[in-house]
Structure 1
Amino acid sequence: MASPDKFNYLPKAAELVKKSQSADGLDRLKIYKNYLQAGLDALTKQFQKGTSIIQLLRARSALIDHILATSWSQFSVHSHSALIAVGGYGREELQPYSDIDILVLLNDDSEEAEDSNLELEAWLAFLWDIGLEVGHSVRTINHCEQLALEDISVATNLIESRFICGNRKLLKGLNERIKQPDFWPSEAFFKAKLDEQVARHLKFKETSFNLEPNIKSNPGGLRDLQVIQWITLKHFKTSSLHDLIKYGIFTRREYRSLLNGQQFLHRVRFALHVLTGKREDRLLFEHQKKVAEWLGFEDHDNKLAVEHLMQRYYRAVMVIRNLNELFLQIFEQEYLKLGKSAQIIDLDQDFYLHNQRIGIKTPDLFLRKPHALIKIFRHIALNPEIIQIEAKTMRKIRSSQQMVNRHYRRDAINISYFKEFLSTKQLTSRGFALMKRTNILGAMIPKFAQIEGQMQFDLFHAYTVDEHTLFLLRYIIRYNKSEYGHEFPLCRKIMKTLVDPTPLYLAAIFHDIGKGRGGDHSELGAVDALEYCHSIGLDQHISELVSWLVRNHLIMSLVAQRKDISDPDVIESFASKIPSILHLELLYVLTVSDIRATNPTLWNSWKESLLKELFLATKHYLTQSTPRANQNQMMEDTRQQVLEQFTKTGESIEPVRELLSELGNDYLLRYHPEQIIWQTEQLLSQPELPYVAIKNHRSQAGTEVFIAVEDQPDLFASITALLSQNHLNIQAATLFTSPKGLCLDTFIVLDEQGHPLSYEQRIQEIQDNLIDGLSDMDNSAISVSRAVPTRLKYFTVKTNVEFINDDNSPFTTLEITALDRPALLANIGQAFRDCDIEVHSAKIVTLGERVEDTFTVSDRNHQPIIDKNRIEKIKEHLGQAINA
């Protein structure tokens, strides 16, 4: 047990003994609390001075050692037992608020008195009272051995146990047992720890790049490093990772990289513990800014301090993850000799496949044939049986990456192999993933290296820019595989007919490459893409196609989610920006994949249906040989479709004809024929008003709520409030008022999980609630109270209200950007009421913490809002309502 006096900045050990020896009760409690706090204060000061984090963790362990040993003696706990530190505490890697894992070790033949058990309970209660979170176990040596043989986690704790006080012989006896050859032999221990790691990585979807990572458990986190430590300790009987150099597992450079990554993560975790005042291993958004400040990061170069912190973090975990995999593979092959009997398959004259790993046949391959640095990834991309790169080959690739310089990138042979890789319809995304992880992708495309580990401090993007790009490529390549064709059949169809995927792959790589540099990342990326395509000699039309896709990669999503895509003018305007069917098809695949890869919570069936509808409508427009129909023709076509549908029923269509005439021509332009047929069926059933009908939208992607009610003030505000009160998220709204004052409003909604409604009981409950609320508008509460999620409090989004008047439109377009919060739309609806604004349609877009909603509005007389003074007053009122 190390004494805290070894670390001269900690409070003196003798002070605690002297002050607490004669104290009792509350006085003793206060003395220990003060000593513990003084130790934490001293460690915090040293941290801010830049003292080695490894030393600080050992100092914290020494401080706790002294507190435990001194109090153990004063409570006279189990005089014939031993107090043992286990887990991270046993390794002397104790963070400020980590659990204190201890083992009270008893002799197998000991018969402790009942009063000793009471003393142990009193001692443990005392430790909790002074502020230590103690995880304890009381076991005999035999019991320890039995449990350890059954549970790998118990065995792991025991092999890194450390004596604190008591009977030292007991720990010696335990160590003799656990060092026996049959106690978790190296191979069994290795396989068990590997299984643990695989299961843990799966919980985090195999990515190290979540924007709110768990420093300890995420792939590449401290737990990955501890796996190396545990296997090293078990097999080589050493706790020093430096010894792995002499065993030929790590080079000196790799060891230093591992150590640097470890120390950085420890410093982040230390800061996180101190700032939160508790055991916290998740680097949540609410903590990231404070941690960045504590670690000395500053805002500059178009990046926030928090973004600099996180980029450093992601690069550290990538190093640890890579070295973890390298260690496991070398240990498995060289020390356990596993997989030696697996068949070696020749892939070509340079590469072989062994045990699902690709390797090089000669150590000097990359020197003799530099293009092999690219060729290997084409093998990986086309062969799903290749899971990994052999450790020695991986090391050769990394040590050869400096070859990929300007001269390498200009060499005709190297370029031809890279172009071949890009033009291949890949069957697995591992080619791109491993090319990125070995730094070859960043070397081949230097601008890509600049975004590695680049994060954006928002809720919209769930991953770093480079990891998001890999997810995007993974989705695109997934469309090549027939077994996934049912997921997105339209994307699958496009990819199947695509002759050369090069433009799509390059557009995916470059679409966000301009982020972090300031300015419009789409424009910056388009310029970069064009320059790069020219540099590798792609044809002009392909280069321009890639650049166009990058420049316009957001446009399809914006139109689908913010515009009325049932309006032929919207389709015509969008189609005018699309040079060809190929541009449209690739843009569609890129857009679908981009949204899916941005954040798993953002993609829903409604967005899918909007994009598909926009794609099909635009494709039809681009392929038609005659000019589009005018509005009169469209109205007549719609009227005819509706009448023909009712004619099939054999009943008189006169009531239908009369109803359509009563509703007017605008109604026929506002809704899709299928919606008109359904709404007409509802209205002809002679319902009492207000009337509510609910069904799945024709796309099956959302739930359509149809409301028929007499026109009255504040209707939009009331309906949005009622829908919000029922925990529904509005995606879109179409609002229509007939000449006789009948309001026919349709809202597309999803539940709180982003799904259409599916349970009849829930649908009936919502229907009843809406009818009750609309039947008593005077007494119906239109306010909504729903708690603001904690994470939203740490983001700022500037509220922006923009009025747009177009000579071709009879109404005004109102665009609102604001911080998302529960019931925001209901608050906006109330502001519309206060400002005498009529709402005709709405498009609701939520992008993480930000909403970008678009409304078609008018005054009460159905005239556009053009008076500048009035617009300024409305903006002010809306701003107050949004930020209330």
Structure 2
Amino acid sequence: MASPDKYNYLPKAAELLKSADSRDPGARLKSYKRYLQAGLDALVKQFQKGTRINQLLKARSALLDHILISSWQQFQVNGHSALVAVGGYGREELQPYSDLDILVLLNEDSSSEHTQELEAWLAFLWDIGLEVGHSVRTVSQCEELSRTEISVATNLIESRFLCGENVLFKDLLRVIKSDTFWPSEEFFQAKVSEQRVRHAKFKDTSFNLEPNIKSNPGGLRDLQVMQWITLKHFKTSSLHDLIVHGIFTRREYKSLINHQQYLNRVRFALHVLCDKREDRLLFEHQKKVAEWLGYEDDSHKLAVEHMMQRYYRAVMSIRNLNELFIQVFEQEHLRSDERQQVIDLDDDFYIYKGRIGANDPDLFYKKPHCLIKIFRHISLHPEINEIEARTLRIIRSSQQIINEQYRKDPINISFFKEFLSTKQLTSRGFALMKRTNVLGSLIPLFAKIEGQMQFDLFHAYTVDEHTLFLLRHIIRYNRAEFQQEFPLCSKIMKTLVDPTPLYLAAIFHDIGKGRGGDHSELGAVDALDYAQGIGLEPHICELISWLVKNHLIMSLVAQRKDISDPDVIETFGKQIPSILHLELLYVLTVSDIRATNPTLWNSWKESLLKELFLATKQYLTQSTPRANQSEMVQDTRQQVLEQFGKVGDSIEPIRELLDELGDEYLLRYHPEQIIWQTEQLMSQPELPYVAIKNHRSQAGTEVFIAIEDQRDLFAAITAVLSQNHLNIQAATLYTSPKGLCLDTFIVLDEQGHPLSYERRIQEIQDNLIEGLSDLDHRKLDVSRAVPSRLKHFNVKTRIAFSYDENSNLTTLEITALDRPALLAKLGQAFMECELKVHSAKIVTLGERVEDTFTLSRRDNQPLKDKADLKQVKQKILEAIAS
């Protein structure tokens, strides 16, 4: 045990002994609390001075050693027992608020004689502010439990004696060090299996934007796995000894320790700033940690983005070294009886145990193009899981050959073009090309976005990891077993002769981020330069650049425009040069949204994109001019009447109802919606009337409300829907010439799914009818708490008005910070300004909403007066701020 006095910046141990000698329990408690706090304050000061983090973690352990030993003796717990530090405390790596793992080791003949003292002592430790994880066992109990529980065994191999009966600890050591206690190969397999399960919980990515510093792939736990295996097999806790055993080179070891120290510094700062044990680097903490570590904003990046980029590069390196360690250890230090056949891929490469290897250690110097060729093999063989360790090391040591001359060499270019033109069966080729830094070397601009994050709730991953997920989705469409997931995307990929434009568009679509300006414009220029540089045909170069420049437009139109409006389809269609452009844009858009954030994709977005794609494809392939409005009205009327005629109903009442509702109604709704709505209205319902069913796309729930026209309907309806915890995706509102309002809202539940339970649907139906039956006395307030994570984002509210000549209405576009019941609050603002809402499109992008409304005054006239617009803007700002 190291004395705390060894660290001269810690409070003196003698002071604790003196002050804690009091018989007054209250005074003793206060003195220990002061000592503990003084120790933490001293460590924080040393941290800010730049003292090495490893020393601070040991100093924290030494401080707690003295507290535990002193209090153990004062509470007289030491009869026939030993106090042992285990786990992180055992290896003297304690963060400011880490759990304190201890083992009270009892004599085999121990009675309950000291139980009372032990319980009082443990309560005292909690009272002074320590989180103690304790176990009380005999040596035989430790042995029995550890043989079946790998976590217990792992804790025990890091045991460190503190005080009490040392002979008991020596007995424990004899058990732990025996040959039968978790033989090295069993221990290795158990820890590797445990790691795989942990990685799977984090979707096997190191690049979540709110990572767990300890448990994420590439986090401190991955490093500890290496420490545990090293300790068990080589009987040493020093990773430096791995150089001697040939597992790491000196450079790899230095890299590992450098990144370990960085993660420990981030974790130390996080604990102190949160004033508790916290290993999740949540958005609400990231800015404070970055500031504490000395990062500053610059013209292109926030301080927090600089810090997180350094973090992601650290975890990527640790993960790579962890995988290298596991492979080398397994191949060179374990005697496995497993025999598998070596599969020769060609003269240069083979597959063994799911790993690809190079036949010649000098292969990449003799045949530089093989640095690309290996990844084509990986992309075509799903059975290849990783690169063999020796070959992996050769790739990393050969990377310096990928320079400007290498990138311009016709042979290397030819092999990279072959890789890009291959309909790959697994995305592992791209993933391993990126993780070995070969992709960043071949495309230097890509290296600049590696580890780059965006401080928002919209993007769940770093830019480079998002790009890999996007490629993974695109390549998945190539696989026959996944064709039913996204049939349209799979069909497009099946007919695609050369996927090069799609792969390169995916790589370059976000490559302009972090440089200021429009990343789509910047990326389009970069993509064109690169495609031309590797000699692709001019029309392919233009296609790639166009896809990058326009990779956001399909999503924007689908979510913000009325895609049932032929004018919208025509305007969008005029921006699409060909069917091929449309097909590739569709695949890229679907994959991009899915890869941005798992919570963003829902059935409603899928249906909107598909409907936009099909309508635009029809527009691009039509040979006759588009029908005018009167023809469209007549066509819709005919479809509705024919449908009712098929079921034998008299069509005359339907004809009269359609005349009464007016031509604008027939333009506003899809024929299928009109048929359903008229069925409801012909049943002579009592108003207000509410009907709920799945939308025709099966992607959202359609709420149809028929009610006599009156003031502030939109505010009332949105309030009720919000009170029922529904998320509104879109709204179409129509008032007939005789004052009948027919309003339709598309909603999803809080999980982003259509409603599926009849009882829940009936409850919402009843609530709407009750809420709309007496609007004069209806409470429109909606009380839903703002999630704490939203409070840490600054989204500038933007409000823009424009005049739509086609509809003679005013279009309002709002960008603001998302919050519960925002739409209901906007409805109240429209109510106070005496505005009428005709339609709404709701787009939520992480912490930000971008909503579009068509509005008019009560007399259906657009808003044109500047004073009126200014007043509306002020009311909206007040509603958003409330």
TM-score using structure 2 length? 0.99
**Match of residue 564 from structure 2:** 566
Hey, what's the Cα distance between the residues in 2 that align with 1:651 and 1:882? 49
SS of the equivalent of 1:281 reads coil
**Match of residue 458 from structure 1:** 456
What code does the residue aligned with 1:81 have?
S
Hey, what's the Cα distance between the residues in 1 that align with 2:337 and 2:91? 32
Query: Which residue among 678, 681, 690 is the counterpart of 1:680?
Result: 678
* Structure 1 residue 177: Cα displacement: 1.1
Hey, what's the Cα distance between the residues in 2 that align with 1:294 and 1:248? 38
Q: Is the 8 A contact 1:16 1:35 kept in 2?
A: yes
SS of the equivalent of 1:733 reads strand
**Match of residue 225 from structure 1:** 223
**Match of residue 743 from structure 2:** 745
**Match of residue 707 from structure 1:** 705
Hey, what's the Cα distance between the residues in 1 that align with 2:384 and 2:92? 40
SS of the equivalent of 1:758 reads coil
SS of the equivalent of 2:776 reads coil
**Match of residue 663 from structure 1:** 661
* Structure 1 residue 736: Cα displacement: 0.3
SS of the equivalent of 1:778 reads helix
* Structure 1 residue 793: Cα displacement: 0.5
**Match of residue 728 from structure 1:** 726
SS of the equivalent of 2:801 reads strand
Is 1:300 aligned to residue 298 of structure 2?
A: yes
What code does the residue aligned with 1:104 have?
V
**Match of residue 76 from structure 1:** 76
In percent, how many aligned pairs have the same letter? 77
Hey, what's the Cα distance between the residues in 2 that align with 1:567 and 1:699? 17
Q: Is the 8 A contact 2:80 2:110 kept in 1?
A: no
**Match of residue 54 from structure 1:** 54
**Match of residue 110 from structure 2:** 111
SS of the equivalent of 1:796 reads coil
What code does the residue aligned with 1:787 have?
A
1:717-738 deviation line (CA, Å, top 9, x unaligned):
0000010011100000000000
Q: Is the 8 A contact 2:78 2:165 kept in 1?
A: no
Is 1:323 aligned to residue 321 of structure 2?
A: yes
What code does the residue aligned with 2:90 have?
G
Query: Which residue among 359, 362, 370 is the counterpart of 2:360?
Result: 362
Residue segments in structure 1 that go unaligned for 5+ positions in a row: none
1:317-336 deviation line (CA, Å, top 9, x unaligned):
00110000000011111111
**Match of residue 422 from structure 2:** 424
**Match of residue 395 from structure 1:** 393
**Match of residue 553 from structure 2:** 555
**Match of residue 875 from structure 1:** 873
Residue segments in structure 2 that go unaligned for 5+ positions in a row: none
**Match of residue 140 from structure 1:** 138
**Match of residue 6 from structure 2:** 6
Aligned length: 882
Hey, what's the Cα distance between the residues in 1 that align with 2:380 and 2:110? 66
**Structure 1 stretch 613-622 or stretch 799-808: which is displaced more?**
799-808
**Match of residue 859 from structure 1:** 857
Hey, what's the Cα distance between the residues in 2 that align with 1:651 and 1:363? 82
Is 1:215 aligned to residue 204 of structure 2?
A: no
* Structure 1 residue 113: Cα displacement: 4.8
Hey, what's the Cα distance between the residues in 1 that align with 2:85 and 2:552? 55
Hey, what's the Cα distance between the residues in 2 that align with 1:827 and 1:135? 48
* Structure 1 residue 226: Cα displacement: 0.3
Is 1:274 aligned to residue 272 of structure 2?
A: yes
SS of the equivalent of 1:298 reads coil
**Match of residue 167 from structure 2:** 169
Hey, what's the Cα distance between the residues in 1 that align with 2:472 and 2:421? 16
Hey, what's the Cα distance between the residues in 2 that align with 1:352 and 1:458? 44
**Could you say if the C-alpha distance between residues 480 and 802 of structure 1 is closer, same or farther in structure 2, counting changes exceeding 3 Å?**
same
SS of the equivalent of 1:705 reads strand
1:770-781 equivalence runs, <5 A: 770-781=768-779
Q: Is the 8 A contact 1:382 1:428 kept in 2?
A: yes
* Structure 1 residue 339: Cα displacement: 6.8
**Match of residue 524 from structure 2:** 526
* Structure 1 residue 23: Cα displacement: 4.0
**Could you say if the C-alpha distance between residues 339 and 220 of structure 1 is closer, same or farther in structure 2, counting changes exceeding 3 Å?**
farther
1:290-310 deviation line (CA, Å, top 9, x unaligned):
000011111014100000111
**Match of residue 341 from structure 1:** 339
**Match of residue 448 from structure 1:** 446
Hey, what's the Cα distance between the residues in 2 that align with 1:335 and 1:710? 81
1:167-225 deviation line (CA, Å, top 9, x unaligned):
22211111111111111001100111011101000000000000000000000000000
Query: Which residue among 581, 584, 587 is the counterpart of 1:586?
Result: 584
Q: Is the 8 A contact 1:350 1:365 kept in 2?
A: yes
What code does the residue aligned with 1:264 have?
Y
What code does the residue aligned with 2:64 have?
I
**Match of residue 18 from structure 1:** 18
1:812-847 deviation line (CA, Å, top 9, x unaligned):
110011000000000000000001111100000000
What code does the residue aligned with 1:37 have?
Q
SS of the equivalent of 1:735 reads strand
What code does the residue aligned with 1:54 have?
N
TM-score using structure 1 length? 0.99
* Structure 1 residue 340: Cα displacement: 5.6
Hey, what's the Cα distance between the residues in 1 that align with 2:338 and 2:142? 35
Q: Is the 8 A contact 2:341 2:352 kept in 1?
A: yes
**Structure 1 stretch 625-634 or stretch 23-32: which is displaced more?**
23-32
Hey, what's the Cα distance between the residues in 1 that align with 2:807 and 2:769? 33
What code does the residue aligned with 1:261 have?
H
What code does the residue aligned with 2:327 have?
Q
Q: Is the 8 A contact 1:232 1:239 kept in 2?
A: yes
**Structure 1 stretch 467-476 or stretch 858-867: which is displaced more?**
858-867
1:567-646 equivalence runs, <5 A: 567-646=565-644
Q: Is the 8 A contact 1:469 1:597 kept in 2?
A: yes
* Structure 1 residue 806: Cα displacement: 3.2
Hey, what's the Cα distance between the residues in 2 that align with 1:649 and 1:407? 74
Query: Which residue among 186, 194, 198 is the counterpart of 1:200?
Result: 198
Q: Is the 8 A contact 2:43 2:60 kept in 1?
A: yes
**Match of residue 827 from structure 1:** 825
Hey, what's the Cα distance between the residues in 1 that align with 2:641 and 2:394? 73
* Structure 1 residue 55: Cα displacement: 0.1
**Match of residue 188 from structure 1:** 186
Task: Please provide the CA RMSD for this pair.
Answer: 0.7
Hey, what's the Cα distance between the residues in 2 that align with 1:736 and 1:22? 81
SS of the equivalent of 2:777 reads coil
Hey, what's the Cα distance between the residues in 2 that align with 1:256 and 1:656? 81
Hey, what's the Cα distance between the residues in 2 that align with 1:385 and 1:276? 45
Hey, what's the Cα distance between the residues in 2 that align with 1:243 and 1:23? 49
**Match of residue 126 from structure 2:** 128
What code does the residue aligned with 1:159 have?
I
Query: Which residue among 797, 800, 819 is the counterpart of 2:798?
Result: 800
Q: Is the 8 A contact 1:757 1:763 kept in 2?
A: yes
**Match of residue 475 from structure 1:** 473
SS of the equivalent of 1:757 reads coil
* Structure 1 residue 809: Cα displacement: 3.3
Q: Is the 8 A contact 1:333 1:340 kept in 2?
A: no
Q: Is the 8 A contact 1:333 1:339 kept in 2?
A: no
**Match of residue 757 from structure 1:** 755
1:813-852 equivalence runs, <5 A: 813-852=811-850
Hey, what's the Cα distance between the residues in 2 that align with 1:338 and 1:640? 76
Hey, what's the Cα distance between the residues in 2 that align with 1:113 and 1:248? 50
Hey, what's the Cα distance between the residues in 1 that align with 2:784 and 2:558? 29
**Could you say if the C-alpha distance between residues 872 and 178 of structure 1 is closer, same or farther in structure 2, counting changes exceeding 3 Å?**
same
Q: Is the 8 A contact 1:78 1:112 kept in 2?
A: no
Is 1:284 aligned to residue 275 of structure 2?
A: no
What code does the residue aligned with 2:395 have?
I
1:252-303 deviation line (CA, Å, top 9, x unaligned):
0000110011101100110000000100000000000000001111101410
* Structure 1 residue 402: Cα displacement: 1.2
Is 1:151 aligned to residue 149 of structure 2?
A: yes
What code does the residue aligned with 1:98 have?
S
SS of the equivalent of 2:718 reads helix
SS of the equivalent of 1:21 reads coil
* Structure 1 residue 112: Cα displacement: 3.5
Hey, what's the Cα distance between the residues in 2 that align with 1:594 and 1:338? 43
